[in-house]
Amino acid sequence: MQETKTMEQIPETEPERQLYFMSRIKEENRLRAEELGRNLTYHIETFGCQMNAKDSEKLAGILTSCGYTEAATEQADFVLYNTCTVRENANTKVYGRIGYLGNLKSKNPEMKIALCGCMMQEQHVQEKIKKSYRFVDIVFGTHNIYKLAELIYRKNHGEKRVFEILESTDRVVEDLPSEHKYRFKAGVNIMYGCNNFCSYCIVPYVRGRERSRKPEDIIAEVEKLASEGIVEIMLLGQNVNSYGKTLSEPISFAELLRRVEQVEGIRRIRFMTSHPKDLSDELIEVMKNSKKICRHLHLPMQSGSTKILRKMNRKYTKEDYLSLVSRIRTAIPEISLTTDIIVGFPGETEEDFLETLDVVKKAGFDSAYTFLYSKRSGTPAASMEDQVPEELAKERFQRLLQVVSEQSELQTKKGEGQTVEVLVEEQNAQDPALLTGRLSNNLLVHFPGSTEQIGTFVNVKLNECKGFYYLGTLVD
């Protein structure tokens, strides 16, 4: 029996090859579970952005197909960290937690530890894991997540430690099983990688060059999700506005949205992230006329100073950004705008910082994610002169936070008293009598209701603004 199995041909084409490894591991795990008298479990911890969250759903799909069941904590037989390296504190956090995994492993001989994601694409990280974290079994990067089953198979069949990190890829393997964290909303990759090389950013180095998926494949995935009951989708890419430009039959992001809008069953469409330099009037028009595209745009500005924007390689000026905001607001007055801002970029003076505050006031953001500049090795900004002292950057950061929260409260207050349609997402973690619903503009409201309403659309009156969210009541 055993003999014939090992003689079996391993398929060379994908996805058949991975499906083969999944079924082999599943069988081995079944036997092991019988010996142990319990199921084998997995736990994935995801750091970073929506792309990583989406990747983790795919990885969960593979682990489920390998016969593992999900565990709520890291007390599991297969623990996977999907890492982020966009800022230094993301890395520090991961190293601390890997140490903790080492302790858990010493108590559970069954346990395997795997690391993947953006941080693993960095040479110095790979070396550190090899040298200082010997208990880590499997390490892979962002370009080969589809191979997880094969890597586990190699580990189970004699390889002491499996390290497989690819520099780049032009290969995208799809049609593998995937899990969904929610049964009513899902993310859909429309492109991978990034070509923008903003001078502070490590993403293009760890995620590779920009690759758009074919519109037919995207639509087919959205249709499948709709048939499974998904009502809200989030189209994902580092710069969705440049979607489709490099396809053999080029298509604009606005045109893709028109097509996604046609998919029956989908009631809400969101997308992330928009780079201001590529946001077209065609897109504003499509958003304006759409019944499904949500009234929310995340438009990272990074800095309000034209001088700093140039050093960041963002390819727009303060005036370009403000004029874009004004065109969007004129076309879609009810839109909510959110942004990302970096404080303390090399060479930022008090005047530059005041320009940032000025844009925050003028643009009237509903919220802003604010970050202290973090030096990423290998990026052009890391070797720029005039790095801003940490104390000064922190002081500016606090001032920015103050203005951002004032602005966001002003914006949120405008909604008070309105009755709006929300998608009910979950039971409130603090108060189980409350549900949490998401407005089209991405703000949240908490209101009394029953858990059967999760995943449905209901009307809620926004009674009270609590800064950046509301308290409300259901309206029939």
- Residues of this chain that interact with ligand SAH (CB under 6 A) are 86-87, 200-201, 203, 238-239, 273, 275, 300, 302, 340, 342, 371, 373-374, 376
The total of other beta-carbon atoms located within 10 Å of residue 432's CB is 9
Query: Residue 360 and residue 50: Cα distance in Å, rounded?
Result: 25
From residue 148 to residue 187, the character string flagging contacts with ligand SF4 as x (rule: CB under 6 A) and all else as - is ----------------------------------------
Q: Which of ligand F3S, ligand SAH, ligand SF4, none interacts with 84 (beta carbon under 5 to 8 A by kind)?
A: ligand F3S
Question: Is 204 a residue that touches ligand SF4 (CB under 6 A)?
Answer: yes
Query: Residue 76 and residue 468: Cα distance in Å, rounded?
Result: 37
Question: Is 201 a residue that touches ligand SF4 (CB under 6 A)?
Answer: yes
Question: Is 238 a residue that touches ligand SF4 (CB under 6 A)?
Answer: yes
Query: Residue 371 and residue 469: Cα distance in Å, rounded?
Result: 21
Q: Smallest distance from the beta carbon of 314 to ligand SF4, in angstroms?
A: 8
Q: Which of ligand F3S, ligand SAH, ligand SF4, none interacts with 51 (beta carbon under 5 to 8 A by kind)?
A: ligand F3S
Query: Residue 367 and residue 334: Cα distance in Å, rounded?
Result: 15
- Residue 293 per-residue DSSP state: B
Stretch that binds ligand F3S, among 79-87, 175-183, 404-412, 461-469 (CB under 6 A): 79-87
Q: Which of ligand SF4, ligand F3S, ligand SAH, none interacts with 48 (beta carbon under 5 to 8 A by kind)?
A: ligand F3S
Query: Taking a C-beta distance cutoff of 8 angstroms, is the pair 117, 82 a contact?
Result: yes
Residue from the set 59, 62, 86, 343 that interacts with ligand F3S by CB under 6 A: 86
Question: Is 193 a residue that touches ligand F3S (CB under 6 A)?
Answer: no
Question: Is 211 a residue that touches ligand SF4 (CB under 6 A)?
Answer: no
Region of 186 (left: φ > 0; alpha: ψ -120 to 50; beta: rest) is: beta
Q: Which residue is nearest to ligand F3S (CB)?
A: 48
Question: Is 84 a residue that touches ligand F3S (CB under 6 A)?
Answer: yes
Query: Residue 84 and residue 8: Cα distance in Å, rounded?
Result: 38
Closest to 256 (Cα-Cα) out of 211, 227, 286: 286
Question: Is 339 a residue that touches ligand SF4 (CB under 6 A)?
Answer: no
Query: Residue 164 and residue 449: Cα distance in Å, rounded?
Result: 48
Q: Smallest distance from the beta carbon of 37 to ligand SAH, in angstroms?
A: 46
Give me the phi and psi of 415, to 5 degrees please: -80, -15
Q: Smallest distance from the beta carbon of 139 to ligand SF4, in angstroms?
A: 23
Question: Is 305 a residue that touches ligand SF4 (CB under 6 A)?
Answer: no
The total of other beta-carbon atoms located within 10 Å of residue 44's CB is 22
The residue behind tokens 């010997």 is 134
Q: What angle do CA 351, 353, 359 make, to 5 degrees?
A: 105
Q: Smallest distance from the beta carbon of 369 to ligand SF4, in angstroms?
A: 12
Query: Residue 460 and residue 470: Cα distance in Å, rounded?
Result: 10
Residue from the set 203, 218, 222, 254 that interacts with ligand F3S by CB under 6 A: 203
Q: What is the largest CA-CA distance in the chain?
A: 76
Q: Which of ligand SAH, ligand F3S, ligand SF4, none interacts with 204 (beta carbon under 5 to 8 A by kind)?
A: ligand SF4
From residue 256 to residue 275, the character string flagging contacts with ligand SF4 as x (rule: CB under 6 A) and all else as - is -------------------x
Query: Residue 114 and residue 109: Cα distance in Å, rounded?
Result: 15
Residue closer to ligand F3S by CB (options 189, 412) is: 189
Query: Taking a C-beta distance cutoff of 8 angstroms, is the pair 335, 323 a contact?
Result: no
Residue from the set 196, 274, 336, 408 that interacts with ligand SF4 by CB under 6 A: 196
H-helix or E-strand containing 215? helix 215-227
Question: Is 211 a residue that touches ligand F3S (CB under 6 A)?
Answer: no
H-helix or E-strand containing 391? helix 390-413
Q: Which residues bind ligand F3S (CB under 6 A)?
A: 48-49, 51-52, 84-86, 118, 203, 206-207
Q: Which residues bind ligand SF4 (CB under 6 A)?
A: 194, 196-198, 201, 203-204, 238-239, 275
